[in-house]
Amino acid sequence: MTQTASSPRRAVIDWSLCRRVLSLGKRTQVMGVVNITPDSFSDGGLYLDPASAVDHALKLLDDGADLLDLGAESTRPGSLAAAHSALSAGDEQSRLLPVLKAILRARPSAIISVDTYKSATARAAIAAGAEIVNDVSGCTWDAKMAATCAELGCGVVLMHTRGTPGEWRTQSRLQRNETLPLVRDGLAAGLVAAEEAGISRNAIVLDPGYGFGKVLEENYDLLSRQDDLLSLGRPLLAGLSRKSFLVRTVQRAMESRRVVIGPDSQPDQSVSQDARETASVAAMVTAILKGASIVRVHQVRSAVQAAAVADAVLDGG
């Protein structure tokens, strides 16, 4: 029997944050999402009130989240289509900082990431106790972001994004097998640029950016070969929770089997919330088996349970 070469496996690598070092790769780290926004695609408006956001964040920690990712501006498809549609740094911080500070008062040891592409917000959040900047643009939408992160000495998540949210609906489709090389080259370039700006390599985690300028099957092409990105030498974060391409897949499967839509479906949706979560967990487990050290999720408890099984499979391998 001919044995094929195995794909790279995730290594145990230290991630340098502001005030501590987090060891990645021993087991999957689960990052819980807290959207302090009125218009995020899956839970917009649910946690815009600071008290609701804090309660939700504490529940995620109680459910087993290793990290929290706080965001105060939506980057859903169609957002940021014009300059006036972007949230000002001041407004972003007015939503974000009270929640961040309240969480740390309640749980001083919590590890908090801030989902922002604005250097001013990154600076204010790190000063308030956050330790990670999760920039969906890979430090490309704000020319000061990379230098700011270098100065702050924070952990950095560099995501691959193809274009901007305002462009995604009209972008040309990628050819089959074109997605992975595009993402790999983009992340490699982003890694070089970050280091040249003074960000320590040990502070960087890479995110393939599922759904960010990739549609439908393009995301599956990327996910099926995600472990190729481990060749870049940095840990991977995968954010697949509730992505629309997963919903479309489930919708097609249900239609092909003539499954009756459940009573918990929303009026404008043909896939129930439970089905969305099931699809999210399936994609998350795949991402772990394909090398992700961190997974970004909306529902933490089920993610922690599924990640434990995926980690056991990796250990058995």
The residues that are catalytic are 243, 296
The two most distant CA atoms of the chain are separated, in Å, by 63
Q: Which helix (H) or strand (E) holds 274?
A: helix 273-289
Q: Is the dihedral of CA 218, 262, 299, 102 positive or negative?
A: positive
Tokens standing for residue 239: 């954010």
- Burial per residue of 183-211, b for 16 or more beta-carbon CB atoms within 10 angstroms, e otherwise: bbebbbebbeebeebebeeebbbbbbbbb
What is the CA angle 236-237-241, rounded to 5? 145
Distance CA 191, CA 203 (A): 11
d(CA 301, CA 64): 6
Q: What angle do CA 22, 32, 307 make, to 5 degrees?
A: 75
What are the C-alpha distances in Å from 58 to residues 94, 126, 150, 294? 20, 19, 30, 19
CA angle 228, 304, 290 (to 5 degrees): 10
3-state secondary structure (DSSP) of residue 57: helix
